[in-house]
Amino acid sequence: MNLKLQTQNFKSQKGNINFIRLLFAVTGLLAFCHVVGLFIGEYAWQWERLFRLDGESNIPTWFSSLLLASCAFVSFRCYEAAEKRDRWIWFLATAGFLFLSCDEVAMLHETVGSIFKKKFVTSESVLANAPTIWPVAVSPLIALGMLWFGVFIPKAMRNSKEALKLVMMGFALYLFATVGLELLEDFIQGDSLSWAREANTLFEESLEMIGAIMILKGLLIQWKVLMSAETPEVTSRFDDENQRLNPCQA
């Protein structure tokens, strides 16, 4: 039985590694297609519409959304396998990743930014001419999310330093790309700096996807750790579920 379990774990780990490699390869391919679109967009605008990294409702957008949805799914699996005291953390993490996945497609943060600018920013304000306003509008939520993530995620992942390291690095990279590099673009103005804006866009969107993949990889490792933990509570719960789904094996 132990040999069979070890074999299954090895196959599962190998499958996860191949899956993560595939996601990195897709990210690289999308970045390449974006660069190609910069050169042929004038002659093949459909290509640029489909593959531009900062576009809307195109392939990179849906890929990023699926990455975050995958993080939500694995977080929920961690919720199912976690100890009772940690489940609320995984539940909120699942909800957070689901929101980010929806936001990637629906652009909810842009809507909030537009409403904030219309209602609270006057023409004399320093923010009146700022192209990117949403980070200011949701800055309390960003700060609260960072604080919560930094305090409680390490507690929920205390039994796997490797997984925690990947998740925290991925979160930092994702936040840096999503907020930091997008704000930086506001300072890169003028036709002479158009190449710098394009480079910033390439790095911003690519690092955002890479950060999400790192989070996903860390969550997969954590899920495996939780599933292999031989705690009576977890083992009993999954044994009961397995017996319910496979009554003939009882």
Model confidence pLDDT, tens digit, residues 189-206: 877 788 899 999 999 999
* pLDDT confidence band for 110 (50 / 70 / 90): confident
Q: Is residue 145 part of a domain?
A: yes
Half-sphere exposure of 165 (CA within 13 A, CB side): 3
Q: What is the mean pLDDT of residues 30-46?
A: 88
DSSP single-letter state for residue 249: G
**pLDDT at residue 229 is higher than 70:** yes
Q: Is residue 133 part of a domain?
A: yes
Q: From the CB of residue 230, how many other CB atoms can be counted at a distance below 10 Å?
A: 6
Q: Is residue 18 part of a domain?
A: no
Q: Is residue 31 part of a domain?
A: no
Task: Quote the CA–CA distance of 14 and 6 in Å, as a whole number.
Answer: 12
Q: From the CB of residue 237, how many other CB atoms can be counted at a distance below 10 Å?
A: 14
Q: What are 3-9's contacts with CB under 8 Å, separation 24+?
A: 9/224, 9/228
Q: Is residue 250 part of a domain?
A: no
Number of domains in the chain: 1
**pLDDT at residue 34 is higher than 80:** yes
- In order of 33, 45, 191, 211, the CA distances from 195 in angstroms are 17, 19, 9, 24
* pLDDT confidence band for 7 (50 / 70 / 90): very low
Model pTM score: 0.85
Q: Is residue 180 part of a domain?
A: yes
Q: What is the mean pLDDT of residues 5-34?
A: 80
Q: From the CB of residue 126, how many other CB atoms can be counted at a distance below 10 Å?
A: 7
Q: What is the mean pLDDT of residues 61-75?
A: 98
**pLDDT at residue 86 is higher than 90:** yes
Q: Which residues, other chains included, contact 11 with Cβ-Cβ below 8 Å and sequence gap of 6+? A: none
Burial 41-68, CB ≥16 within 10 A → b, else e: beeeeebbeebbbbbeebbbbebbbbbb
Q: Is residue 33 part of a domain?
A: no
Q: What is the mean pLDDT of residues 230-239?
A: 50
Q: Is residue 249 part of a domain?
A: no
Structural domain for 162, as ranges:
61-229
Percentage of the chain lying above the pLDDT 70 cut: 85
Q: What is the pLDDT of residue 245?
A: 53
